[in-house]
Amino acid sequence: MNRAKQNPLITVKDIKPTKPYLKVDGVFNCGATKLNNQYILLLRVAESAVSDQDNIHIPIINNHSIEIKTIQKDDIRYDFGDSRTIKLKNGKVKYLTSLSHFRRAFSTDGIHFKIDETPWIFPESELETFGIEDPRITHIEDKYMITYTQASPYGVSVGLIETIDFVSYERKGTILPVDNKDVSIFPEKINNLYYMYHRPVPGDMGYPNMWVATSNDLYHWGNHKLLLSVSENGWDNGRVGGGAPAFKTDKGWVHIYHAATLEDSTYGLGAFLTSIDDPSQITHRSLTPILYPEADYETTGFFKNVVFTCGLIVENQNLLIYYGAADDKICLATITLDELYEKLVKVG
Amino acid sequence: MNRAKQNPLITVKDIKPTKPYLKVDGVFNCGATKLNNQYILLLRVAESAVSDQDNIHIPIINNHSIEIKTIQKDDIRYDFGDSRTIKLKNGKVKYLTSLSHFRRAFSTDGIHFKIDETPWIFPESELETFGIEDPRITHIEDKYMITYTQASPYGVSVGLIETIDFVSYERKGTILPVDNKDVSIFPEKINNLYYMYHRPVPGDMGYPNMWVATSNDLYHWGNHKLLLSVSENGWDNGRVGGGAPAFKTDKGWVHIYHAATLEDSTYGLGAFLTSIDDPSQITHRSLTPILYPEADYETTGFFKNVVFTCGLIVENQNLLIYYGAADDKICLATITLDELYEKLVKVG
Using an 8 Å CB-CB cutoff, list chain B residues near A202.
154-156, 178-179, 201, 203
Distance of residue A159 Cα from the nearest chain B Cα, in angstroms: 9
Q: How far is CA A98 from CA A25, A49, A83, B210, in A?
A: 7, 8, 9, 27
A173 touches chain B (CB under 8 A): yes
pLDDT digits (tens, 9 = 90+) for B210-257: 999 999 999 999 999 999 999 999 999 999 999 999 999 999 999 999
Nearest to A229 among B154, B206, B213 (CB): B154
Grade residue B348 by pLDDT with cuts at 50, 70 and 90: confident
Determine which of A205, A229, A263 to mutate to test the interface with B (most B C-beta atoms within 10 Å): A205
**Is the minimum CB–CB distance between A283 and chain B shorter than 8 Å?**
no
Kindly list the distances between the CA atom of residue B80 and the CA atoms of A61, A202, A297, A326, B32, in Å, as whole numbers in the listed order.
42, 21, 45, 39, 33
For the beta carbon of residue B167, count every other beta carbon within 10 angstroms.
8
- Window 45-74 of B, Cβ < 8 Å to A: none
Task: Give the residue on A whose Cα is nearest the Cα of B224.
Answer: A174
SS3 of A9, please?
Answer: coil
Residues in chain B within 8 Å Cβ distance of A196: none
- The burial of B315, by beta-carbon neighbours within 10 Å (0-12 exposed, 13-18 middle, 19 or more buried), is given as exposed
Per-residue pLDDT, averaged over B30-37, amounts to 96
What pLDDT is recorded for position B83?
A: 81
For chain A, positions 138-157, list CB contacts with chain B under 8 A. Answer: 151-157
> How many Cα atoms within 13 Å fall on the side-chain side of residue B16?
11
Shortest distance between the Cα of A228 and any Cα of chain B, in A, equals 11
How open is the CA angle B61-B65-B71, to the nearest 5 degrees? 50
| Mean pLDDT estimate for chain B | 96
Contacts A173 to B, Cβ<8 Å: 222-224
The pLDDT score that the predictor gives to residue A169 is: 98
Per-residue pLDDT of chain A (348 residues; tens, 9 = 90+): 999 999 999 999 999 999 999 999 999 999 999 999 999 999 999 999 988 889 999 999 999 999 999 999 999 999 988 888 999 988 889 999 999 999 999 999 999 999 999 999 999 999 999 999 999 999 999 999 999 999 999 999 999 999 999 999 999 999 999 999 999 999 999 999 999 999 999 988 989 999 999 999 999 999 999 999 999 999 999 999 999 999 999 999 999 999 999 999 999 999 999 999 999 999 999 999 999 999 999 999 999 999 999 999 999 999 999 999 999 999 999 999 999 999 999 997
Instruction: Please state the domain extents for chain A.
Output: 2-346
CB-CB under 8 Å, B126 with A226: yes
CATH dotted code for B2-346: 2.115.10.20
Which of B:187-246 have CB within 8 Å of A? 198, 200-206, 209, 211, 213-217, 219-226, 229
Determine whether A173 is exposed, middle or buried from the number of CB atoms within 10 Å of its CB (0-12, 13-18, 19+). Answer: middle
Nearest by CB to residue A153, choosing from B93, B200, B206, is B206
Average the pLDDT over B309-330 and give the result: 97
| Side-chain-side CA neighbours of residue A332 (13 Å) | 21
CB of A308 within 8 Å of a chain B CB? The answer is no
DSSP characters over B74-98: T-TTEE--STTEEEETTS-EEEESS
Q: Considering only CA atoms, which of B280, B271, B284 is closest in space to residue B336?
A: B271
C-alpha Rg value of chain A to the nearest Å = 19
- Mutation pick from B224, B231, B232, B237 vs chain A, by most beta carbons of A within 10 Å, is B224
ipTM value, please give it. 0.95
Q: How confident is the model at residue B82 (pLDDT cuts 50, 70, 90)?
A: confident
Nearest chain B residue to A125 by CA distance is B225
Indicate the burial class of B202 (C-beta count within 10 angstroms; 0-12, 13-18, 19 or more).
Answer: buried
CA-based nearest distance A317→chain B, Å? 35
| Residue A301 identity | G
- Provide, as residue numbers in chain B, all residues whose Cβ is less than 8 Å from the Cβ of A225: 174
Whether B253 and B274 have beta carbons less than 8 Å apart is answered as yes
Give chain B positions within 8 Å (CB) of A228: none
Max alpha carbon distance in chain A (Å)?
A: 59
pLDDT, tens digit (0-9, with 9 covering 90-100), for A50-98: 888 899 999 999 999 999 999 999 999 999 888 889 999 888 899 999 9
So what's the pLDDT on residue A50? Answer: 86
What is the reported pTM? Answer: 0.96
Quote the minimal CA–CA distance from A79 to chain B in Å. Answer: 13
Residue B88 at interface with chain A, using a CB cutoff of 8 Å: no
